[in-house]
Amino acid sequence: MFSDQKSFQETFKKRLEQSYSISFDDSTRAQQFVTLSQMVREHISSEWIETNERQRQEKKQTYYLSIEFLLGRLLGQNLINLGLYETIQSWLDDIDIPLEELEDIEPDAGLGNGGLGRLAACFLDSLASMGLPGHGCGIRYKHGLFEQKMVNGFQMELPENWLRYGYVWEVRKSDLTVEVPFWGSVDVVEREDGVKFRHVDAEYVKAVPYDMPVVGYGGKTVNTLRLWSAETSSFSLNQDVLKYKKDTEAISEFLYPDDSNDEGKILRLKQQYFLVSASIRSIIQRHLSNGGELRSLHERIAIHINDTHPVLAIPELMRVLMDDYQLSWDDAWHVTENTFAYTNHTTLSEALERWPIRIFRPLLPRIYMIIQEINERFCKSLWDQYPGDWDRIERMAIIAKDEVRMAHLAIAGSHSVNGVARLHTEILKNREMNEFYQFQPAKFNNKTNGITHRRWLLKANPELTSLLSETIGEGFKTDATELSKLALYVEDPAFLEKLSRVKRKRKDILTKLIYERNGIKVDPTSIFDVQVKRLHAYKRQLLNVLHILALYNKVKHEPSFHMPPRTFIFGAKASPGYFYAKRIIKLIDSVAELVNNDPETKGLITVVFMENYRVSLAEYIIPAADISEQISTASKEASGTGNMKFMMNGAVTVGTLDGANVEILEQTGPDNIFIFGLKAEEVMAFDRDGGYRSMDYYHHDPLIRRTLDQLVDGTLDDKGLFGVIYESLLSENDQYFVLKDFEAYRSAQEAAGRIYEKNPQQWRKMMVKNISGSGIFSSDRTIKEYASEIWKI
C-alpha cells in the first residue's frame, strides 16, 4: 500500500472515490483525511495482529487502568512512529494535498483533561516503542470533558463532539461485550463446598469495547487501548425504559460529571465500577484463553491503577475470583495484592476520593461486602501491630466515619504504591501517608513522571528535531538520554544562532495562530511567557495575572521603570463547578482588555488567553515558549509534566521548588532556571501553624496594595466580579501563599527579562542546557523503571 509513490496515489484516489462516490477532484479535505487514516490503520493491522499473537507467549503483561487517556491527534504521530511521515508528506504534496491540513481535520480524542490523562497516553507510547506488552483500559466518552468557549471573558462549556463523524482509529468489538451489574441485592447460597454469593435483581449495563492501536516508534509493536462504551442491556417490561436508557448512556457520556449532589456522585461511582468491572473480566478472559491459571494470575498479569479512580478493580478482582471461579478468600487475596500496583498523583487531601456508604452500598452491594471484609482484615493486622491504638486504626481504616476511603483501599490491596516525583514521594511517606508508610514501608517507591519525546519533540517541533539530528545524530529519537550530547555545543556560536532561528520560526507560527484565533497581533520578538495547564488555585495562575497587573501599574506610575516587551500566554480549562477557578479566567480576560488596549502598555505587555486548551493546541504553544511558568505552591503539585515538555523545547523555567521542578533544577543547574518562593517544608510548616498574616503584605507593600485594590475599585470591573478573589487573598488568609511569594516571583521574572534582553547569547546557552538535560524526563525512562521494578515485564 505504501510501497511506492505511484501505487500509493492510485490507491488513495481510488479508495476515496469508492468510499464517497465522488470524483477525486471534488473531494474535501475531511474526505481525504478519513481515506488516508483508513489506509494507515490498515497498514498497522498486520503488525497489530502479530503483536497480539506474539504477546500470547509473553511471560507477563501489563494493563494500565486510567479514567483518562489524553491522546491528542493520531494521524501525524502514527506516521512518525511508522517512519512514513516525510514520505507520505512528499507524495501528498505531489497531488496538491498538504499533509498538515489533513492533520488539522482530526479532532482531539475527548478522553482526558490534564496531566493524569496525558501521562497515561505517554506511557502507552513508551510501552509500545520499547516493545513491551502493555495495554490501556479506559472509557469511550461520547462528549469528553467539555469544549471551552469564551463569551465576554467567561468560560462556557459545550459538549465535546469529537465523535460527531465517527472515529477512524477505533474498532468496535461487539463480540467481546460484557455486562456490568448495579443495584440489586446479594443472595447467600449454602452449598457443599461452602457459602457462595450471588448478585440478584441487578440492573445490567452492556460494556462494549472499542479497540485502538497504539503504534510504537519503529512500528514493530502495536499494543491496544481498549475503551468501553455503555449501552443498554435487556430490560423488563416493568422498567421505565427511557430513564434506563438515559441513565445507562450517561455512564460513558462525559468525563468527570459534576458530583456536587448525590445524583452526580452516583454517576461518577457508576463510571468507575463500569470501567474496572468490564476491564477485569476482559483481562481474565484473555488470560484464560492464553492458557493461564487463575491462582498464578499475578505471575502473568500486572494491573496498574492510575490514581484512585480505578481502585474498585481490587474488590472486583476478588469478587470474580471468589464468586465466579470459587477461589478461597486467602488464595484470591494473594493473587489480588500481587497483581495490583497503585500510583498516587496528589498531596491534596480533597483529591483523595471518599464515597458515602449510603450511596456506595445500595449501588454496589457485593463490592461493598468485599470491601467490608478487606477492611476487617486490614484493621486486624493494624491491631496486631498497634494494639490499643484505636485512633490510628480509625485514621487508617478503609471504611470509617460513614465513608469508603479509596486511597486506603488502594494501599491495602496493592503490592506497590508510588509517587510521581521525588519530592512528592517524600511528602507521601513523611506526611500524607506517613502511617501507611510506617506500617508497610517496603510498598512505597518513587517513579518520577516522564513525557514521550516522540510527541513533544519529534511531532510538535520538527524544526528543532531536524537541527538536533544534524548536530548530534538521530540516536535521541529512540534514546532520549542522547540529548545530553547537546551540552558539547553550549559554547558554539553557529549552533546557538541556528537554535535561535528555530525558536523564532516556532514563535512566528504561534503568532499567526494567535491572530487567526484571537485577533490579537503579538510581537514575535517579545518574550513569550507561557502558563498552560488545568486551572486550579494551587497552580497559581492568579499569581501570574496579579504580576501582569503589577507590571501595568509600574509602567503607568513609575516613569523610570523599564521592561522588555512580553507576551503572556494562558491556556486552561476550569472544572464546570469550580466557581473560583472560573472567576480567575474572567480576571485574566479583564486584565487582557486593560493592558492590550492602553496606549502606554499596548505592545509592551500583551495578554492572550487561548480558548479550549488541548493537546493539538499545546503542540503549537510549547515549542514557541521562552519562559515556562511552573509556579504552583510548593508541596502541592505532585510532579507536573508540562514543565518537562517546555524544558525539552528550550524554554527556561520560572518556578517553585515543587514537584519535578526539583529534579529539573538538578539537570539544568541553578544558573539555567529561575527558582523562587517558599520551599515545601516551609509551606507545610505554615499549614501546620495556621498560615500567615496575608494582610501584612497588603499594608506594607504599596505595589501589592494598588494591584489588589484594582480587583474591587472598578479598574477591571464595576460589577464586583473579583471581590471573591480579593477576599480569598486577604480575609481568607491566602491559602496558596500568593502574596507571600509575590515579591520573590516578581524578582525572578525581572531577572529572566533582564537576561533575555541584555544577554541573548546567555539565554541561548540556557536553552541548550535545558534541552540537553531533558532526556531523563522521557517516559521511556519512567516505563523502564515501572517495568523492571514494579510490573516485572
Q: Which of 645, 740, 746, 769 is catalytic?
A: 645
Report the alpha-carbon distance of residue 165 to residue 523 in Å, rounded: 38
Whole-number average pLDDT of the chain? 96
Q: Which of 405, 533, 746, 769 is catalytic?
A: 533
Beta-ladder partners of 423? none
Which is it for strands 178-182 and 399-400: parallel, antiparallel or unpaired? Answer: unpaired
Digit-coded pLDDT (tens) for 684-738? 999 999 889 999 999 999 999 999 999 999 999 888 999 999 999 999 989 999 9
Provide the whole-model pTM. 0.97
Digit-coded pLDDT (tens) for 767-793? 999 999 999 999 999 999 999 999 999
Report the alpha-carbon distance of residue 265 to residue 280 in Å, rounded: 23
Q: Is 345 a catalytic residue?
A: yes
Amino acid identity of 455?
R
Q: Which of 142, 309, 506, 539 is catalytic?
A: 539
Digit-coded pLDDT (tens) for 457-487? 999 999 999 999 999 999 999 999 999 999 9
Report the alpha-carbon distance of residue 288 to residue 305 in Å, rounded: 22
Among residues 306, 308, 399, the alpha carbon closest in space to that of 353 is found at 308
Residue 692: count other Cβ atoms within 10 Å of its Cβ.
Answer: 15
What burial class does residue 686 get, using C-beta atoms within 10 Å of its C-beta: 0-12 exposed, 13-18 middle, 19+ buried? middle
CA 406 vs CA 158, 344, 363, 436: distances in Å:
31, 11, 16, 14
User: What pLDDT is stored for residue 718 in this prediction?
Assistant: 82
- In CATH, the number for domain 58-73+108-445+784-791 is 3.40.50.2000
The distance between the two most distant Cα atoms of the chain, rounded to a whole number of Å, is 92
Q: Is 534 a catalytic residue?
A: yes
Q: Is 641 a catalytic residue?
A: yes
Residue ranges, CATH 3.40.50.2000, the chain: 58-73+108-445+784-791, 453-777
Digit-coded pLDDT (tens) for 103-136? 999 999 999 998 999 999 999 999 999 999 999 9
Q: Is 481 a catalytic residue?
A: no
Question: Model confidence at 242, in pLDDT bands (50, 70, 90)?
Answer: confident
Digit-coded pLDDT (tens) for 647-668? 999 999 999 999 999 999 999 9
Alpha carbons within 13 angstroms on the beta-carbon side of residue 345 total 18
Alpha carbons within 13 angstroms on the beta-carbon side of residue 395 total 11
CATH architecture classification, 453-777: 3-Layer(aba) Sandwich (3.40)
User: What pLDDT is stored for residue 577 in this prediction?
Assistant: 92
